[in-house]
Amino acid sequence: MDQEKEIIQSKAETQDEILLAALKLFAEKGYFNTSLTDIAEAAGIKNTSAVYQHFKNKQMIASQLYTNIFDSLNISIDDIRRRSQKSSEQLRGIVDLFFKLTDDAPDVMQFLLILKLNEFLPEEKPVLETDPFMKIIKIIQSGINAGEIRNINPFLVNAYFFGIINHALELVLTGALDKKADAYLAQTWLTAWNAIARK
Amino acid sequence: MDQEKEIIQSKAETQDEILLAALKLFAEKGYFNTSLTDIAEAAGIKNTSAVYQHFKNKQMIASQLYTNIFDSLNISIDDIRRRSQKSSEQLRGIVDLFFKLTDDAPDVMQFLLILKLNEFLPEEKPVLETDPFMKIIKIIQSGINAGEIRNINPFLVNAYFFGIINHALELVLTGALDKKADAYLAQTWLTAWNAIARK
DNA sequence: GTCTATACGCCGATAGAC
DNA sequence: GTCTATCGGCGTATAGAC
């Protein structure tokens, strides 16, 4: 029994190593510039063959990353929505999360913000149709209904707000801004919120 | 002489057709999902071979597009800077141009805003180091000096301003917003300008 | 200047020993 | 579950006729 468990865990660990290596390489060089050989090597495996023990093909690695990242984001957003009622506070929670992820897990944010997912995952939902982003639209809609946020197309509100947030984070991710994301959080939040708040 | 000229012009025309076809396909499916066969076909040529008459390889097609688009943008921005002195008016000119291009030449804007150029053109300058974008930073710096624009890191100002503009245009380009870009111009400009203007 | 035909290499993917 | 070996295919690129 113990042995069986060990084997299973070991398999799961290798899977995670592959996913982690792939995420890092995709973030660094893009999906198409990353070969399975690169991934295997970075995961500490000598051949591409062993990778197929864990994933059907290269695309499924990316697909699994997509699922993991959006699921985890979804859970975080549920959490944030549970913790406070006001749209402004919920959005603030999401911004805090994004800035934290940029500093602590830049590869994840690179995957979320910079990679063109539909280019190599054509059958997955476009980002705007995923659960977490539909929940963000709901938050915005609530804010509009409550008079907190300007009464314009929620998608446009989203574009204004996350245009500012994401673009600032992209500069951090690409190294164009030299400090940690956290250093720009307060000011960027204020600017983004003011852009959509009802005056 | 006339005949020679004709031949030369015909050659140039074919080149343009290849460039146009490539731009369209890159914008549609991305660089890596576009094969030379696709490009040749879309350009009305039956084989990839003829393409090599005009370009050394696939990357050089993209490189030529890069040069053409950024050169043209550079000229437009010089024009805009010449026409008015105030930073606000110059930025407004650039925004007008971007919205116009989104409606009239969406492929060009897709190339500028959405494609990850460094993924397939690693030896070209990153967008932020190109002439047109360095001129935008200069415009912002002038605005700060003149007291028109908030006195913060010009790159951050750029992120705030063009974060809003570009994100809104991306929604139009991807079809998430259903009207022409022009329909969102007035409001988006105001929001973006207010985000960076000194109050 | 465009065609037919073809070479070449890389990478994704499989078979089968251990 | 990972290794060695190898296949097949696609896409880039070239040679050479017309």
**Is the model's pLDDT at A2 over the cut of 90?**
no
> What pLDDT shows up at residue A136?
98
The dihedral sign for the CA sequence B151, B196, B98, A115: positive
Kindly report the nearest CA distance between residue A82 and chain B, in angstroms: 28
DSSP 3-state assignment of B148?
coil
**pLDDT on residue A63:** 97
- What pLDDT is attached to residue B13? 84
Residue of B172, B24, B174, B64 whose CA lies nearest to A116: B174
Nucleotide nearest to B53 (CA to C1'): C1
What's the confidence (pLDDT) of residue A173?
98
CA B199 – CA A196 distance, rounded (Å) = 16
Indicate yes or no: strand C within 7 A of the C-beta of A15.
no
Pick among A160, A173, A177, A180 to test the B interface (most B CBs inside 10 A):
A160
What pLDDT digit, counting tens, does each position of A150-177 carry? 999 999 999 999 999 999 999 999 999 9
Per-residue pLDDT of chain B (199 residues; tens, 9 = 90+): 444 444 444 777 889 999 999 999 999 999 999 999 999 999 999 889 999 999 999 999 999 999 999 999 999 999 999 999 999 999 999 999 999 999 999 999 999 999 999 999 999 999 999 999 999 999 999 999 999 999 999 999 999 999 999 999 999 999 999 999 999 999 999 999 999 999 8
Q: What is the residue type of B79?
A: D
User: Are the Cβ atoms of B160 and A194 closer than 8 angstroms?
Assistant: no
Asked if A119 lies within 8 A of B32 by C-beta distance, the reply is: yes
**Is B151 near chain A, with CB under 8 Å?**
no
Chain A interface includes B167 (CB < 8 A): yes
Interface of A with B in 99-128 (CB under 8 A): 114-116, 119, 126, 128
Q: Cβ(B121)–Cβ(A34) under 8 Å?
A: no
Predicted pLDDT at B30: 98
Q: Are B139 and B90 in contact (CB under 8 A)?
A: yes
Read off the pLDDT of each residue in A51-62 and give the average, rounded to a whole number.
96
Q: Which two tokens stand for residue B77?
A: 């921005």
Contact B51, B39 (CB under 8 A): yes
The predicted pLDDT at position A163 comes to 98
Q: How high is the pLDDT of residue B6? A: 47
DSSP A114: I
Strand pairing partners for A197?
A149
Mutate to test the interface with B, among A25, A137, A140, A156 (most CBs of B within 10 A): A156
Q: Domain ranges for chain B, please list them.
A: 1-55, 58-196
Q: What was the pLDDT predicted at A11?
A: 73
**Rounded to whole angstroms, how far apart are CA atoms A184 and B50?**
52
CB contact under 8 A, B188 and A116: no
- Homologous superfamily of B1-55 in CATH? Homeodomain-like (1.10.10.60)
The Cα diameter of chain A in Å comes to 64
Residue A72 — very low, low, confident or very high, per pLDDT cuts 50/70/90?
A: very high
- Based on its alpha-carbon atoms, the radius of gyration of chain A, rounded to whole angstroms, reads 19
Contact A164 B195 (CB under 8 A): yes
Which band of pLDDT confidence, cut at 50, 70 and 90, is reported for residue A182? Answer: very high
| Nearest-CB residue to A167 (from B126, B162, B174) | B162
B30 CB near a chain A CB, below 8 Å? yes
Backbone angles phi, psi at A174, to 5 degrees: -85, -5
- CA B157, CA B180: separation in Å to the nearest integer? 26
pLDDT score at A6: 47
pLDDT of residue B68: 98
CA distance linking residue A115 with residue A22, whole number of Å: 13
- Which residue of chain A comes nearest to B168, CA vs CA? A159
Please, which residues bridge with residue B197 across strands?
B149
What tokens does B31 get? Answer: 């660089």
CA distance A141 to A138: 5
Torsion of CA A184, A185, A188, A189, to 10 degrees: -170
CATH topology of domain B58-196: Tetracycline Repressor; domain 2 (1.10.357)
Query: What is the C-alpha separation between B134 and B74, in angstroms, rounded?
Result: 10
Cβ <8 Å between B167 and A166: yes
Hey, are the CB atoms on A184 and B126 less than 8 Å from each other?
no
CA B60 → C1' C1, Å?
20
Q: Give phi and psi for A197, each to the nearest 5.
A: -70, 145
User: How far is the CA of B100 from the CAs of A126, B111, B150, in angstroms?
Assistant: 26, 15, 27
What's the pLDDT at A80?
98
